[in-house]
Structure 1
Amino acid sequence: MDIKHSTSEFQISHQGRTIIAHSHNRPAFYLGRGDATFNMYRGNFDIADYLTERLALRQFSIQENSDNTRIDLSIEGTTQLSLIVTSTAQGRLKIAFEAASDDYNRIWLRVDAKPSDNIYGCGAQLSHFNLRGKDFPLWTSEPGVGRNKETYTTWQADVNDKAGGDYYTTNYPQPTFISSQKYFCHLQTTAWANFDFRHDQFHELQCWEIPEYLLFGMEDNYIDLMENFSDFFGRQPELPEWVYNGIILGIQGGTDFTVERVEQARKAGIKVSAAWCQDWQGIKFTSFGKRLQWNWQWNPEVYPDLDKRIHELKEDGIRFLGYINPYVLQDYPLYNEAKELGLLAKKIDGSDYVVDFGEFDCGVVDFTNPEGERWYKEVIKREMIDFGLDGWMADFGEYLPTDCVLHNGKSAELEHNDWPRRWAKINHEAIAESGKTDDILFFMRAGYTGIQGYCHTLWAGDQSVDWSMDDGLASVIPGALSTAMTGNGIHHSDIGGYTTLHGNKRDQELLLRWTEMAAFTPIMRSHEGNRPNDNHQYFDDPASMAHLASMTRVYTHLKPYLKQIVAQNAGKGTPVQRPLFMHYEQDETCYDIQYQYLLGPDILVAPVHQAKQSEWELYLPKDEWVHAWTGEVFLGGWITIAAPIGKPPVFYRKASKHSALFDGLVAQL
């Protein structure tokens, strides 16, 4: 840490890099007042702020102490905000904030920047990987359908459902970014925030409370930076061994139907690790499509004899996964139990708060109440783990209303962003307390600061079943990379997408291309979609079955390599799917590549994410790259290569110690 100052300016530096540059003429700190309104409709938020005041904190005084430096920022001679600057025991720079009063509820602070900076992270960003040049509101919500205001799908979603979304709407935001100057910057707050990367000389970070602190960590390379990063935020555990044995098949329709589908798939040569039956607790049909009965108990009418068959499947090498979310369906047993125990969030008038999830209402179990947290963990243990489930989708987490009353007395506006972390913690601890961390898999779409040490894997959310760049197949790739740069190195997606609305229907080609991409991710898992009968399914024709079989052979063939890079993620925070610049940091082109990725250090994947393509253009960093299907060697640069369905653009490093394993990929087709 180094602080240089004169009577009119100061600079805070860390490891030789300027972090904060403040002067009377160009202040780095502003305070203000505002009144926000949050209107939520089924997880989509219309947020507005009436700003009444924004004031620059130009004046300052500095006091150097033995263990910190205190900087008092003032307006007209009165201290309004104090910075306590320290170097942590881990070698990071920490700037804690102390407000002189409660008069201000808005802050803007400017982190020094260079015009050449590239910026990554901020959670799951699906439209942009390099965030430079845009601003990003950070609020967990439904990401929206279409996510591009210029598309027909988004327009229709907005007009009909208030649910169109935009480039920044996401299930998983986080007020943390990584700079190409090789530092991470984290703002510790749960309030609504906006990170603005549109300015050449600074990045402006705004939030709607006085944050706890600003934290910086720096290293000389990206691998060490991710280790530093994950030392602070936490790391995902390794995947259970059984995950690598094949695809997790998304199946709905009952016990016998599930067993039949698994056997059908196996006979077709598809390697299956598990059946994922999200309707294990029952079904609801709404105008949206096939929904679930949100009462987290086995439904013997839909799944007769599952209490016995689930164990038979496991003996046969097939795990069984289900579904849960943080809400309980009104007037069903678990809702009634939570209500009787007083564990539901309240309205201002003291009545229970119920949320509209699309033609049915649910109670919000109050996770700020230790008894509510304990009760939900017991539900997971009793109804799911003890029943025999080997994993589940831990869905939602984004819907906490900002006007509900919580047990801890804290504003729900400030708890909203933290809800996904609380939800992940409940799932993780229920599994850990049962001694099953190494054997149970759960996956989430929602997230926020601190989810890294609790969430076993993320999935990309509810992509549209189409080729759109912002909400279709392509969007999964920047989503995986941005979450990787936010400390979540295990990521996957619904094969084929999920959302069928406003004329979008999954065709065969989309399903096949999505399957190709999934074979080169840490987890393969399919989904029928919200309207299964409108979507092409893998079992609809022999060609689709054969294609899935070959891709599962490819995936399982990579098991030794996948296990190794997943272990790296668990041990040092090095993500499984990595941006190209993580290993080729001197190559400037790599910093703007958002639709390709490295799978570990040695495999490069450039998924075909547009329809009707037989050739594909891609970029190879300078190295010796072997084309997985022909053996042809390339030395780098932009190339165009044949990419028929079944042979996606995949390359491996010739010098890899795993080259013999990779040589065998072509034999799996």
Structure 2
Amino acid sequence: MEINYLKNGFSVVENGKVIFTHTEEAPAIFVGKGKEKMDIYRGNFDIEDYVIERYPLKIAKEENGKILLSACPDSKPELELTAELKDNYAKIKIQSYDKALNRIWIRVPAEKEEFVWGCGEQMSYFNLRGRHFPLWTSEPGVGRDKTTEITFLSDKYNKAGGDYYHTNYPQPTFVSSRKYACNVNSTAYADFDFRNEAFHELQIWEIPESIEFFTADTFLGIIEQLSDRFGKQPKLPDWLYDGVILGLKGGEENTFSRMENAINHGIPVAGVWSEDWAGVRETSFGTRNFWDWKWGKKRYPNLDKKIKELEKRGIRFLAYACPYLCTDGDLYPIAEERGYFAKNSKGETALVDFGEFYCGIVDFTNPEAAEWFKEEIIQKNMLDFGVRGWMADFGEYLPTDDVYLSNGVDAKIMHNAWPALWAEVNAKGVAERGLTDEVTFFMRAGGAGTQKYCPMLWAGDQSVDFSRHDGLVTVICGALSSGLLGNAYHHSDIGGYTSLFGNRRTKELFDRWVDMAVFTSMMRTHECNRPYENFQFDQDAGTMAHLARMTKIHRHLKPYLKALSEEASQKGYPVQRPLFVHFENDIKTYDMQTEYMFGPDMLVAPVWQKDVKEWQVYLPAGETWINIWNDQEICGGQSMTIDAPIGKPPVFFRKNSKWADLFKEVKNY
């Protein structure tokens, strides 16, 4: 890239394409001051801002390779910009001369017909144009649609309804159909606004370190650049492809008897995930885990022996942990005595309400605290005990008021950085034991840099339904948006998780979720927050047979999945991809968020509505497609309605794929 200096302005240009421009007549950078109000209730944030002042920095002067920005010709410079330029890359460093400035608005040129994607893991809308997206890690909400009763009730009783933009994983990075990506280097609260036809306005609640631009000739090239920038995930453990991870809990007898029953019904089981391995507590939300991360002998008295027995049978045991410790656990007083928790203004442990119980936040900005958590919990209590995977939950709850951290940085700045710190603690624990090839953990919280440490994302807590903004369909959007930013692996709770206000999982929902999960990086079931009120896979012989068959298909695809994992480790390409990354000339694919490419050669269009037997599918132009269930050949570039019974979700593959023989065998299951 290069910078062109203009009269009272400048442009960042790549091969004649203007990526960013700032002039006196059309300033792109505004600064100001604001005062925010942030209220937190169990991970849900109510955020308001009062803008005290906002003004454009119209005047740009170049001096000794630096650009000085000021509000008017006679005023002192307020920002200093320094450009670092390479092929296909520009980094504009930003330095403020006025420390009182705490708001900046940056306008990036837009075109009317432009598409924009990214901003972390977005669950409702893949194409971001026409909307704005606050970027702040939080609970995603229950319902996430202000027109629905569930959202209304969640707001009324728990302040937890959420909206389309709420996400566990925000990231101030977007990809444009103009074949560039933009990243703002800041973990402060941000709001990316894509509603204007002429520009994208990026609001950040601090003066960021820099803004970066990446360009490439292809979308895959942009993904590769972003993966180089933020980090790549290692190849997945080989055992993960050999079956489903069964989410089972309820104590030792219940968990393992149900596992044996599943195996006896022909279900290939790669692992058993017991989130209650450390114990439980009862709340109005449902049965919750006891947040004291060590073996709960009362609930699982023989777990140490059972883990060894399972491993001999090729079955791994997976557990659960999060970065908080409950006040009534054994680990809490140890960490408190050593000063490992975040503090309040009185120098006491800052306690957080997690829903009828309180916890301390282990301060990962304190190297000793991070080291202790890594050694005592991740390594000794989990890895050395035989655990070979876990849900590394949460990371979104760092409060912003009356919380003080070891590194001295404002909690408002560290809040969005916390998921990456949490991921790093887990990753280092695994790496130091030499188990990166054998162990996996999965997270819902994320941010810039999570890619380097978190081996797999999970889509968080969907409702147990087919709803547009909180049901099955949202996990597709989440996989596609996060995948563009270098998160190669993504999966979800089969059957969803959140059951509230009479919303209960059905057999149909579970079966349809299984249909989709086959064509993701990992298959893992979840009992949900209220297991005894919701459908479970082993309550129905038909679902047991369905899960067995579909899991065998997933296992059959192991050679293909391993090839995708190898590619991901080298180039950062996601396993689940937007159609347009392989069909750039087909503009219809740019706005599709309910279909995806499963690697380069398979197209998957999951059924995400209830009570349907047919489904409309669009097949991209320029390819002959094969229906995986009946070998029917179809020319691309058309939409069609096809039969889509449970067990035969719409899946197609390229006729000329080198994996065609493997794919053709799927119909025999």
Establish whether TM, by shorter chain, passes 0.5: yes
Measured after TM superposition, the shift of residue 2 of structure 1 is: 2.8
Q: Which among 287, 306, 311 is matched to residue 303 of structure 2?
A: 306
Measured after TM superposition, the shift of residue 320 of structure 1 is: 0.2
For 2:400 and 2:561, the matched residues in 1 are separated by 41
1:60 correspondence with 2:57: no
Q: Which among 201, 206, 211 is matched to residue 203 of structure 2?
A: 206
Aligned to 2:645: 644
For 2:337 and 2:653, the matched residues in 1 are separated by 58
Which amino acid letter does the alignment assign opposite residue 474 of structure 1? V
Within-5 A mapping of 1:492-641: 492-622=491-621, 623-636=623-636, 637-641=638-642
Which amino acid letter does the alignment assign opposite residue 256 of structure 2? V
Aligned to 1:381: 379
For 1:387 and 1:2, the matched residues in 2 are separated by 55
Aligned to 2:357: 360
Within-5 A mapping of 1:205-224: 205-224=202-221
**Is the CA contact 1:121–1:177 (under 8 Å) kept in the aligned structure 2?**
yes
Within-5 A mapping of 1:269-418: 269-378=266-375, 379-403=377-401, 404-418=403-417
Equivalences, count: 664
Within-5 A mapping of 1:455-466: 455-466=454-465
**Is the CA contact 1:23–1:58 (under 8 Å) kept in the aligned structure 2?**
yes
Cα offsets for 1:250-307 (capped at 9, x unmatched): 0002223222112111111111100000000001110000100000010111001111
Measured after TM superposition, the shift of residue 12 of structure 1 is: 2.1
SS of the residue aligned with 1:646?
coil
For 1:351 and 1:385, the matched residues in 2 are separated by 32
TM-score computed with the length of structure 1 as normaliser = 0.98
**Is the CA contact 2:560–2:659 (under 8 Å) kept in the aligned structure 1?**
yes
Measured after TM superposition, the shift of residue 331 of structure 1 is: 3.0
Which amino acid letter does the alignment assign opposite residue 17 of structure 2? R
Cα offsets for 1:215-242 (capped at 9, x unmatched): 1111100112111111111011111000
**Is the CA contact 1:59–1:77 (under 8 Å) kept in the aligned structure 2?**
no
For 2:422 and 2:554, the matched residues in 1 are separated by 30
**Is the CA contact 1:15–1:218 (under 8 Å) kept in the aligned structure 2?**
no
SS of the residue aligned with 1:487?
coil
For 1:225 and 1:12, the matched residues in 2 are separated by 17
Which amino acid letter does the alignment assign opposite residue 632 of structure 2? E
Within-5 A mapping of 1:472-483: 472-483=471-482
Aligned to 1:167: 164
**Is the CA contact 1:406–1:412 (under 8 Å) kept in the aligned structure 2?**
yes
Cα offsets for 1:25-80 (capped at 9, x unmatched): 22101001011111000000000111110011111211353xxx434334452100
Cα offsets for 1:93-142 (capped at 9, x unmatched): 01000101212100001111111211111001000001111110000000
State the identity %. Answer: 51
Cα offsets for 1:143-195 (capped at 9, x unmatched): 00001111111011000100000000000000000111111110000100011
TM-score computed with the length of structure 2 as normaliser = 0.98
For 1:464 and 1:10, the matched residues in 2 are separated by 48
For 2:297 and 2:8, the matched residues in 1 are separated by 73
SS of the residue aligned with 1:664?
helix
For 2:41 and 2:512, the matched residues in 1 are separated by 34
Measured after TM superposition, the shift of residue 541 of structure 1 is: 1.1
For 1:6 and 1:426, the matched residues in 2 are separated by 47
Which amino acid letter does the alignment assign opposite residue 195 of structure 1? F
Which amino acid letter does the alignment assign opposite residue 43 of structure 1? G
Which amino acid letter does the alignment assign opposite residue 56 of structure 1? P
Measured after TM superposition, the shift of residue 620 of structure 1 is: 0.2
Aligned to 2:659: 658
Aligned to 1:419: 418
**Is the CA contact 1:62–1:72 (under 8 Å) kept in the aligned structure 2?**
no
Which amino acid letter does the alignment assign opposite residue 364 of structure 1? I
For 2:566 and 2:540, the matched residues in 1 are separated by 37
For 2:350 and 2:476, the matched residues in 1 are separated by 37
For 2:386 and 2:432, the matched residues in 1 are separated by 15
Which amino acid letter does the alignment assign opposite residue 517 of structure 2? A
User: Mind listing any 5+ residue stretches in structure 2 that lack a counterpart?
Assistant: none
For 1:17 and 1:333, the matched residues in 2 are separated by 60
Cα offsets for 1:343-371 (capped at 9, x unmatched): 11111111111100000000111111001
Aligned to 1:157: 154
Aligned to 1:81: 79
**Is the CA contact 1:73–1:82 (under 8 Å) kept in the aligned structure 2?**
no
Within-5 A mapping of 1:248-267: 248-267=245-264
For 2:107 and 2:6, the matched residues in 1 are separated by 19
Stretch of structure 1 that moved more, 133-142 or 194-203:
194-203
For 1:601 and 1:331, the matched residues in 2 are separated by 50
**Is the CA contact 1:624–1:633 (under 8 Å) kept in the aligned structure 2?**
yes
Aligned to 1:3: 3
1:95 correspondence with 2:86: no
Measured after TM superposition, the shift of residue 23 of structure 1 is: 2.0
Aligned to 2:17: 17
For 1:293 and 1:59, the matched residues in 2 are separated by 58
Cα offsets for 1:295-326 (capped at 9, x unmatched): 00101110011111110011011100000000
1:26 correspondence with 2:26: yes
Measured after TM superposition, the shift of residue 644 of structure 1 is: 0.7
For 1:79 and 1:446, the matched residues in 2 are separated by 39
For 1:71 and 1:662, the matched residues in 2 are separated by 59
For 2:407 and 2:119, the matched residues in 1 are separated by 28
Cα offsets for 1:71-91 (capped at 9, x unmatched): 433445210011111214x65
SS of the residue aligned with 2:473?
helix
Which amino acid letter does the alignment assign opposite residue 17 of structure 1? K
User: Mind listing any 5+ residue stretches in structure 1 that lack a counterpart?
Assistant: none
Measured after TM superposition, the shift of residue 15 of structure 1 is: 3.6
1:50 correspondence with 2:50: yes
Cα offsets for 1:583-609 (capped at 9, x unmatched): 000000000110000000111000000
Measured after TM superposition, the shift of residue 392 of structure 1 is: 0.3
SS of the residue aligned with 2:510?
helix
SS of the residue aligned with 1:78?
coil
Which amino acid letter does the alignment assign opposite residue 641 of structure 1? I
SS of the residue aligned with 1:422?
helix
